[in-house]
Amino acid sequence: MIPLANPKVQVDSQREEILEAIAKVFDKCQFIMGENVPVVEEKYANHCGAKYGIGVNSGTDALVIALTACGVDSGDEVITVPYTFVATTEAVLIRGAKPVFVDVDPVTFNMDTSQIESKITEKTKAILPVHLYGQCYNTEEVNRIAKKYGLKVIADSAQALGAKRNGKGIGETADVAGISFFPTKNLGCCGDGGLIITNDEKIADKAKYLRFHGMAPGSYYYNHVGYNSRLDEIQAAVLNVKFPNLDKWNTKRRENAAFYLDKFKDLPIELPIAEECNYHIYHQFTIKYNKRDELKSKLAEKGVGSAIYYPYPLHLQPAYDFLNYKENDFPITERICKQVLSLPIFPELSEEDRNTVATSVIESIQELEA
């Protein structure tokens, strides 16, 4: 079976180096806030165009802490999307704030910025858009609206490490952004890990305190009610070994995407479209097709893995009943949840496997259309 993602090949390609780096952590036994964490913070933040990086223990916590550092609190409203991984909404709710959804654009899968202004109230504190599947949302428009209404922009950049828009990295197009190092992300660690990036010194300082119980390390003096959410030193060591490959791996994903886009151009499916101003890093290669479930089954029969990101709109999830949304509130999200299918795009996909994926998709669709 060709899997949708294969973190094992990536880890195996640097297994010795990774184990050596971990052994060095064991030699020092400085497991919390060791020497690897600041290196990760500097390298990854700078790569994204941000001055400051704050290592935390997951992409979810990166969002929660970023929201906290921006002053989002109970009773506030945060404008976000119902078509994303649940952590985006969860982070807002963990702060006691209310997620106010706007629909997404059917082509880019990202926030439909034309809907934002109609949702702004006096309670609105921030906008939380997502660079979904590795393609930047319309950062210029979000920033224009945020400036007009005095709102903060917190970018869910969990899937977008290395993505750019108009030449700008994800660290320079929002007040603050949260990255995930979940193992199947474009660059993942060997467990959970995340990073907050920002060019705002005040947000950076506050986030640094917040991830460490609200205190300067070792001071036992608490400026803020905080969290225990430090980037683990072992994970930081892994991330430093992997960092030099980030651009190469993203380039390979883009090559795989270009290959599929060419192979699938005549099929009766909707292909992912990268806006010209975007450097899309294809965390997912997601097609839309009306017979999505049948296609998924046929691919599985042919030994090709695929996945549905995301099968259910967040506004219709039982956990979020209390938000009082109903069916047809966000028709684009509801439609694409029934159509989307993500195909294997990971950088280590062999040429043979890539061909097998392409041929299997083409044959399956021909069978379904016959």
Ligand X SMILES: Cc1ncc(COP(=O)(O)O)c(C=O)c1O
284 near ligand X, judged by CB under 6 A? no
DSSP 3-state assignment of 304?
Answer: strand
- Determine the Cα–Cα distance for residues 325 and 328; give it in Å rounded to an integer: 9
Output the smallest distance, CB 61 to ligand X, in A.
7
Determine phi and psi for 277, rounding to 5 degrees.
-80, -5
- Determine the Cα–Cα distance for residues 77 and 123; give it in Å rounded to an integer: 5
Q: Which is nearer to ligand X, 192 or 334 (CB)?
A: 192
282 near ligand X, judged by CB under 6 A? no
Q: Binding residue for ligand X (CB under 6 A) from 36, 88, 113, 235?
A: 88
182 near ligand X, judged by CB under 6 A? yes
Q: Which stretch binds ligand X (CB under 6 A): 18-26, 48-56, 85-93, 354-362?
A: 85-93
84 near ligand X, judged by CB under 6 A? yes
194 near ligand X, judged by CB under 6 A? yes
Task: Please say whether the beta carbons of 178 and 194 come within 8 A.
Answer: yes
Residues constituting the chain: 370
Task: Please say whether the beta carbons of 123 and 76 come within 8 A.
Answer: yes
159 near ligand X, judged by CB under 6 A? yes
In the structure encoding, which two tokens stand for residue 141, read together?
């428009």
Name which of 56, 39, 70 is nearest 228 in CA terms: 56
Output the smallest distance, CB 87 to ligand X, in A.
4
Q: Which is nearer to ligand X, 10 or 58 (CB)?
A: 58
135 near ligand X, judged by CB under 6 A? no
Output the smallest distance, CB 169 to ligand X, in A.
17
Helix intervals (H) in the chain? 7-13, 15-28, 36-47, 59-69, 87-94, 139-149, 201-210, 233-242, 246-263, 292-301, 331-339, 351-369
186 near ligand X, judged by CB under 6 A? no
In the structure encoding, which two tokens stand for residue 289, read together?
């097709």
Give the count of residues interacting with ligand X (CB under 6 A): 15
364 near ligand X, judged by CB under 6 A? no
Q: Binding residue for ligand X (CB under 6 A) from 6, 60, 113, 235?
A: 60
231 near ligand X, judged by CB under 6 A? no
Q: Which stretch binds ligand X (CB under 6 A): 55-63, 114-122, 204-212, 317-325?
A: 55-63
Q: Which is nearer to ligand X, 97 or 365 (CB)?
A: 97
108 near ligand X, judged by CB under 6 A? no
Output the smallest distance, CB 142 to ligand X, in A.
16
User: Which residues are registered as beta bridge partners of 32?
Assistant: 232
Q: Which is nearer to ligand X, 85 or 209 (CB)?
A: 85
User: Which residues are registered as beta bridge partners of 215?
Assistant: 222
DSSP 3-state assignment of 252?
Answer: helix
85 near ligand X, judged by CB under 6 A? yes
CA atoms within 13 A on the CB side of 338: 6
Q: Which stretch binds ligand X (CB under 6 A): 110-118, 154-162, 310-318, 335-343?
A: 154-162
Q: Which is nearer to ligand X, 84 or 286 (CB)?
A: 84
- Determine the Cα–Cα distance for residues 250 and 273; give it in Å rounded to an integer: 17
DSSP string, 73-102: -TT-EEEE-SSS-THHHHHHHHTT-EEEE-
Q: Which is nearer to ligand X, 132 or 269 (CB)?
A: 132
First-to-last alpha carbon distance for the chain, in angstroms, is: 26
Q: Which is nearer to ligand X, 160 or 269 (CB)?
A: 160
Q: Binding residue for ligand X (CB under 6 A) from 10, 180, 198, 286?
A: 180
User: Rule CB under 6 A: which residues touch ligand X?
Assistant: 58-60, 84-85, 87-88, 130, 156, 158-159, 180, 182, 192, 194
